[in-house]
Amino acid sequence: MSANKPTSQQANKPTSQQANKPTSQQANKPTSQQAIFNKVDWSFVRSWEHIFQFSVGEETDNFFYHLSKINSYRVISFYGPLNERASYQLIDCYKRISSINDQYFIFNFREVTSVDKKSFLELAQLTALVRSEKKALLRGCGIDELLIPRFLDCRIFLESEILGKMSLAIRSFNKMKKEV
C-alpha cells in the first residue's frame, strides 16, 4: 500500500468542511426560518446590478457571527465571507436578535472578508428588524469604505448610523443617553 494513498475508510470519511455543508435536500427544503425574511417589503431596492462582489484579503469558507453585550449595548460581530453559505447563520442571527429587548445595537463588520448580493438583502432585513420592529437604535462600524455606498443605496444603514470604529459607536450611544 502506498503511503500517499488514503485507505478506503479515509476516502469515505467526510472532511470537516463537508460535514458543515448542508446536503442538497437541506439546501432546497424551505424552512419556517426562511419565512421570517419574507415579512419586509423590499420594493425600495432599485436595482441589484450596481451591487458587486466585494472582497478584501484572504477568503475563507467559514462565516460566523458573535453576539455579545458591552454595557447596555448589543454587539453583533460578523466574521468571514457574507455569502450564500452564510444564509443559515444570518437567519439564526435574526431569530436571536428578535428575542432580545435591548434598545442599542452595534453591527461590527471589521472582520468581514466579502459580501455578495444575497447577503445585502439579508443584512437589510436584520437592520429593518432592529429599526422597525424593535424601535431600537443602530450603528454600523468597521465597514470597508468600498461597501459604505452600497450599504447606503440598499438602506442597510443610514448615513448617520455608520461610524468607523466600535468605540465611536459606543460614544455616540453614550452621548444620546446623556441627552435624554
Distances (CA, A) of 137 to 32, 94, 155, 157, 175: 27, 16, 15, 11, 13
Tell me how far apart the alpha carbons of residues 17 and 26 are, in angstroms, rounded to a whole number.
16
- Of all helices (H) and strands (E), which one includes residue 81? strand 73-82
Give the residue with greater pLDDT, 139 vs 40: 139
Q: Which residues pair with 115 in a beta bridge?
A: 54, 82
Please tell me the total count of domains within the chain.
1
**Structural domain contains residue 169:** yes
How many Cβ atoms from other residues are within 10 Å of residue 70's Cβ?
A: 13
How many Cβ atoms from other residues are within 10 Å of residue 105's Cβ?
A: 25
**Structural domain contains residue 168:** yes
- pTM of the predicted protein model: 0.67
**Structural domain contains residue 108:** yes
Tell me how far apart the alpha carbons of residues 110 and 139 are, in angstroms, rounded to a whole number.
13
Nearest to 97 by CA among 79, 76, 80: 76
Give the residue with greater pLDDT, 40 vs 85: 85
Checking if the pLDDT of 36 tops 50, the result is no
H helices of 52-107, in order, are 87-98
At 177, the pLDDT band (50, 70, 90 cuts) reads confident
Provide the CA 13 distance to its chain's centre, in angstroms: 31
**Structural domain contains residue 99:** yes
**Structural domain contains residue 133:** yes
pLDDT digits (tens, 9 = 90+) for 155-169: 999 999 999 999 999
Give the residue with greater pLDDT, 159 vs 59: 159
- What's the mean pLDDT in 143-149? 92
DSSP state of 86: G
Mean pLDDT of the residues in the chain: 77
At 59, the pLDDT band (50, 70, 90 cuts) reads very low
pLDDT digits (tens, 9 = 90+) for 90-134: 999 999 999 999 999 999 999 998 898 889 889 999 999 999 999
Nearest to 156 by CA among 127, 115, 136: 127
Q: Which residues pair with 84 in a beta bridge?
A: none
**Structural domain contains residue 35:** no
Checking if the pLDDT of 26 tops 70, the result is no
Give yes or no for a contact between 88 and 57, defined as CB atoms under 8 angstroms apart. no
**Structural domain contains residue 74:** yes
Give the model's pLDDT for residue 30.
47
**Structural domain contains residue 162:** yes
CATH number at residue 135: 3.30.750.24
Give the model's pLDDT for residue 38.
52
**Domain containing 149: what range?**
51-174
In percent, the amount of the chain with pLDDT more than 90 equals 52
Give the model's pLDDT for residue 118.
83
Q: Hey, what's the torsion of the CAs at 38, 90, 83, 129, to 10 degrees?
A: 50
